[in-house]
Amino acid sequence: MGSAPVPELPLKDLKVIDFTTLLPGPFATLLLAEAGAEVIKVEPPDGEGMRHSGPEWDGHSALFALLNAGKSSLALDLKDPGDLARLMPLIDDADVLVEQFRPGVMARLGLDYSALKTRNPGLIYCSITGYGQTGPLAGRAGHDLNYMAECGVLALNTGPAGAPQLPPLLAADIAGGAQPAVMNILLAVMQRQRTGEGAHIDVAMSENMLPFAFWALPEGELTGRWPKHASHLFSGGRARYQLYTAKDGGLIAVAALEEKFWQVFCEAIDLPESLRDDRADCGASIAAVQDAIAAHATAHWEKLFAQIDCCCSVVKTLEEAAQSEHFRARQVFERTLDGRQPLHALPLPLSPGLRRSADKAPRPPELGDRNSAPSFARRS
């Protein structure tokens, strides 16, 4: 009997031109490439900035390699008319173009959507920016922290007075930029199947962070009481949704939102009945829970939470998470670069069957590896 046929990836016929750099756009086009799309990365002659950032892996920036594995590279000077002329046939044949410049840059190059759709009416053109293509902030420079600051999300959990805390996640870049870009590109592909028309997708990372405060915005708008740090259930204002410090300095994440879980947790730590209503005297309830947690080391709580059902966890380090029995069982870290370097930094959120198989380990592109044949003919 012959081997079972390998299923075709869902985006195997999608042709993508990628003008993006750093994190949001490259992560988006990486997800497309993982699902089978052919992605050509357009870079300046000396390469995009991420190529030169550490640490290094096999002669490449490891971060660049993780974000651009399986793509090819076209090194062009977009201000050179000859290089632009070489690029146009690719655009004419492309399904998707993704760019991440400030508004107006692509227009100055003659590569804006209005110019290109006359050549390729079915082109899906995705622009990823901090603040969108219009509005007073459209031209402002920024990064992840700025986008969270402008949309109000950052103010919901700034840390204790006098000790402001940086969020540890690049949430705006990935959840506000890359993932909405992919979702909208795929929706536009579905729409084009019906209409034959392309679209201009305007992804603004700052406003795409607002759904993360879906619980806070309605409360403020409807009641006039706008949530602030430590004033609401999800911003540190209740004992049942809080971080506590164990005896050995480890952190315990308590998220016993529902009453049934909260009561199980209160029984487990022997919290006095008078403090179990954590709305009556929130400060006293938090202090009492902290005293109870501080009475034992992290290992005690790890063992206890494995035995009871109360939505509580020990806060793991990244190193501990990378060795997690659960994540290992789910093969989260099985994918590699070129069969050697584990993709610990980038477990891709695509289900098996919808992405390249783990045994087809992609390599990052060498700078200009597509220059000798700038076409969408699929590489072997």
Mean pLDDT check: name the lowest of 49-53, 79-83, 281-285: 49-53
Q: Which residues pair with 337 in a beta bridge?
A: 341
Domain identity same for 305 and 337 = no
Q: Report the pLDDT value the prediction gives residue 350, as an integer from 0 to 100.
A: 72
Domain identity same for 159 and 265 = no
Domain identity same for 94 and 155 = yes
Handedness of CA 59, 64, 70, 75 (dihedral sign): negative
Q: Whose CA is closest to 234, among 214, 210, 206?
A: 214
Give the pLDDT band (50/70/90) at residue 1: very low
Residue 223 located in a structural domain: no
3-state secondary structure of 345: coil
Domain identity same for 94 and 150 = yes
Domain identity same for 129 and 31 = yes
Of 83, 143, 229, 281, catalytic: 143
Residue 204 located in a structural domain: yes
Residue 188 located in a structural domain: yes
Domain identity same for 169 and 304 = no
Residue 324 located in a structural domain: no
Identify the burial level of 206 via C-beta atoms within 10 angstroms of its C-beta, where 0-12 means exposed, 13-18 middle and 19 or more buried: buried
Which pairs count as long-range contacts for 267-273, CB under 8 Å and 24+ apart, including other chains?
Answer: 268/304, 268/308, 268/310, 269/293
User: Which CATH number covers residue 195?
Assistant: 3.40.50.10540
Domain identity same for 197 and 240 = no
User: Which CATH number covers residue 264?
Assistant: 3.30.1540.10
d(CA 201, CA 128): 8
To the query of whether residue 143 is one of the catalytic residues in this protein, the response is yes
Domain identity same for 201 and 281 = no
Helix (H) or strand (E) holding 99: strand 96-99
Residue 267 located in a structural domain: yes
Res 333 pLDDT > 50: yes
Arithmetic mean of pLDDT over the chain: 89
Residue 355 located in a structural domain: no
Mean pLDDT check: name the lowest of 11-15, 226-230, 236-240: 226-230
Mean pLDDT value across residues 288-316:
96
73 and 373 Cβ atoms separated by less than 8 Å: no
State the pairing for strand pair 124-129/341-342: unpaired
Mean pLDDT value across residues 81-106:
95
Of 18, 112, 144, 173, catalytic: 173
Helix (H) or strand (E) holding 326: helix 325-329
Res 361 pLDDT > 70: no
Residue 279 located in a structural domain: yes
| Domain residue limits at 282 | 233-245+251-314
Tens-digit pLDDT profile for residues 95-124: 999 999 999 999 999 999 999 999 999 999
Handedness of CA 193, 199, 202, 207 (dihedral sign): negative
Domain identity same for 120 and 240 = no
Number of separate domains in the chain = 2
Domain identity same for 259 and 117 = no
Give the pLDDT band (50/70/90) at residue 348: low
Residue 64 located in a structural domain: yes
Domain identity same for 272 and 124 = no
Quote the percentage of the chain above a pLDDT of 90.
65
Q: Report the pLDDT value the prediction gives residue 374, as an integer from 0 to 100.
A: 61
To the query of whether residue 229 is one of the catalytic residues in this protein, the response is no
Mean pLDDT check: name the lowest of 178-187, 190-199, 282-291, 331-340: 331-340
Give Cβ neighbours of residue 128 (< 8 Å, ≥ 6 apart). Answer: 20, 24, 25, 28, 98, 99, 100, 177, 178, 181, 203, 205
Tens-digit pLDDT profile for residues 254-292: 999 999 999 999 999 999 999 999 999 999 999 999 999
Domain identity same for 19 and 130 = yes
Mean pLDDT check: name the lowest of 227-236, 243-252, 313-322, 334-343: 334-343
Q: Report the pLDDT value the prediction gives residue 21, as an integer from 0 to 100.
A: 95
- pTM of the complete model: 0.89
Tens-digit pLDDT profile for residues 12-37: 999 999 999 999 999 999 999 989 99
Helix (H) or strand (E) holding 220: helix 216-223
